[in-house]
Structure formats: structure tokens, C-alpha cells
Amino acid sequence: VGGSNDPRGALIVLEGLDRSGKSSQSARLVSYLEGIGHSAELWRFPDRTTSVGQMISAYLSNKSQLDDHTIHLLFSANRWEKRSLMETKLMSGTTLIVDRYSYSGVAFSAAKGLDLHWCKAPEFGLPAPDLVLYLDIPPEKAAERGGYGGERYEQLEFQKKVAECYHALRDSSWKIIDACRPMEEIEKQLQSIVLDNILACKVGKPISQLWS
Ligand code: 2DT
Ligand code: MG
């Protein structure tokens, strides 16, 4: 397994505001890919299972307070600690469907007023996604869906700022998905975009690095 001529997997990230449908759609994508015989795994950031992830989780649930820069760097460290496993999986042919990544990292911290370039810097050199699926929904609509928990950031006024910051991060790897449509319709659209992307990666597209 993992010989250098074997096709690699794709790194596919879902981004969007809270309640945009990322987690449901990520899970459905992975079942779909597995169902048609592709090796795929569901990942999410923050990964709350590591010791860094537990500090992040305590912060998000308001059990601890941290300086804005400090928590920003912890979110980034939480990706770096998974980097080598991420690359190993991709090189062995497994596609990773990732619920949030560096774009959440930058958008949420920049929404607090931190400098955008400062926010991007610690992400330099992480594997760049082959595809970013941005589930686009107006903040007001997302809030109407209910189910905001009591976590930090789950407030309409803050989510509006996050949406603006996400906008500034769009690049050619992004596909903007209208997330206001019925779930099944979105699911079908994501399946076809993702299949095309996986095939493109199999024909030898190298893994690049953020921010490219
Ligand atoms: P979930 O509700 O998806 O668990 O996210 N966040 C996330 C950041 O501020 N920086 C990051 O790097 C990442 C990955 C977004 C928990 C919250 O954490 C925010 C929502
Ligand atoms: Mg949440």
C-alpha cells in the first residue's frame, strides 16, 4: 500500500457558518463515497479528542478564558498535530472529507478584529485543500434554523462578521454552494462535484500547501 505510483486521495473541506449544514453533508458525503467503493474518512476541526483539542473545547464552552491570539494559535496547533496523519492518509489513497479547516481558523479570529495576515500566518505550509465547498447561507437564515447551542461564537451578530471574513478568503479552490435549498438537492450537487475532484487528484495532481 502507498507506493508512490498509487493514486492519492483528495483533501476536501466543508466550510460555512454555524447551522449551514456542514456536519450533515460531510457525513452523507463519506457514506456516499464508501458506498461506491472509494476509501474516505470524515474528519473535523477542531479535533476535540487531543490535549490541545480539550483546551479548545473548554474555551468554546466558556469553561476557560483565553487571549484571542492564544486560542487562535491553539486552533492552528490542532491542525498541525494532525498534519502528518493527514498526509499519510492522502498518500495511501484515502479521501478526507473535513468539516472546517484553516478558513474557519482565520474567519472566526479575524471576525474578532485580529489582523487577517497575522491570522493566516500559522497556517502556512499545511496541506492545501483540493476543494473547498462553502455552504452559503445568510446569517439570519442560519439563525432561524435554531439549534445554536450555548457555545461561544453562536450569535447572529458575530456570525455576520464571520460571513464577511469568509468572503475575503475565497479563492479558486472554492465552490460556493447555495445552502438554502433542500438538503437532498445539496447532497446530489456535492456528490457530483466531489467525484470530479477525486478523479482529478487520481491523475496525479500534487498536494499543494497553504496558502496557494
Ligand atoms: P464546531 O461547532 O464545528 O465544533 O466548531 N473555529 C473552528 C475557530 O474559531 N477556529 C478554527 O480553527 C476552527 C476549526 C468555529 C466550533 C467553533 O470553533 C470555531 C466554531
Ligand atoms: Mg458549533
pLDDT at 201: 87
Over residues 156-210, the pLDDT tens digits come to 999 999 999 999 999 999 999 999 999 999 999 999 999 999 998 887 889 999 9
| Bridge partners, residue 43, by sequence | 98
**CB 22 within 8 Å of CB 16:** yes
CA atoms of 184 and 20, how far apart (whole Å): 14
Q: 48 CA to middle of ligand 1, Å?
A: 10
pTM above 0.95, yes or no: yes
Whether residue 117 is predicted with pLDDT greater than 50 in this model: the reply is yes
pLDDT of 111 higher than 60? yes
Does 11-202 carry CATH code 3.40.50.300?
A: yes
Q: Is the pLDDT of residue 2 over 60?
A: no
Q: How far apart are CA 58 and CA 64, in angstroms?
A: 6
Indicate whether residue 166 lines ligand 1 (CB < 6 A).
Answer: no
The DSSP-derived string for 103-147 is HHHHHHHHTTT--HHHHHGGGTTSBPPSEEEEEE--HHHHHHT--
Per residue in 26-49, pLDDT tens?
Answer: 999 999 999 999 999 999 999 999
From the CA of 48, give the closest atom in ligand 1.
Answer: 4
